[in-house]
Amino acid sequence: MPIASSLPPTFVPPGAGPILHAFGETVIMHLDSAATGGALNLWTEITPPGGGPPAHYHEREDECFVVQEGRVAFLSGGEWHEVGPGAIVFMPRKHIHAFKNVRETPSRMLLSTTPGGFDKFFARCDEEFKTAAAPDMERILRISAEHGIHFVNT
């Protein structure tokens, strides 16, 4: 007989979830750590033309990308790999990577990290990017490091 989880099932209607803004990205967080008991996060990320994070790695999370719209180039192993709608990219923790939207229209991806916790990082960054002046990038780097995310020069 299966053992019941203490978590209830979660049903998320299309487009639902808190909308966060950081690093020029729009993040729609569909499943946060609370909903999954910390197992994973799932969100839609909309990236403007030319946008995307600098090279970085995660100490704690594996990351999976599903490109839904646009064309996105991914940095892995020092080389860029361009993919389009339907492509799936997996970046294991501690692997240096980046991505950028290479088209003239916004790209859209479904992202998942395991375990959860990335939602808390995005929420803290969202608060920093909401400040009236430009965000304090030293503070962003500290927040990133506290969440095991490290930016690197490639």
Q: Looking at residue 74, which CATH number applies to its domain?
A: 2.60.120.10
Whether residue 1 is contained in a domain is answered as no
Length of the chain (residues): 154
Number of domains in the chain: 1
Task: For residue 4, name the pLDDT band (cuts at 50, 70, 90).
Answer: low
> How many angstroms separate the CA atoms of 12 and 113, rounded?
17
Q: Residue 7 falls within a domain, yes or no?
A: no
In a domain, 6, yes or no: no
Distance CA 80, CA 99 (A): 9
Asked whether residue 68 is domain-assigned, the answer is yes
Residue 5 within any structural domain of the chain: no
- What stretch of H or E contains 29? strand 25-31
Residue 94 lies in a domain: yes
Its pTM stands at: 0.92
pLDDT surpasses 80 at 154 = no
Determine, yes or no, domain membership for 9.
no
Mean pLDDT of the chain: 94
Q: Which of the two residues, 116 and 14, has the higher pLDDT score?
A: 116
In this structure, is residue 87 part of a structural domain?
Answer: yes
Q: At a CB cut-off of 8 Å and minimum separation 6, what does 5 contact? A: 37
**Which pLDDT belongs to residue 2?**
67
In whole angstroms, how far apart are CA 133 and each of 24, 31, 70, 137?
15, 30, 31, 11
Residue 4, token pair as written in the block:
């019941």
Residue 140 has pLDDT above 70, yes or no: yes
The residue range of the domain holding 46 is: 19-148
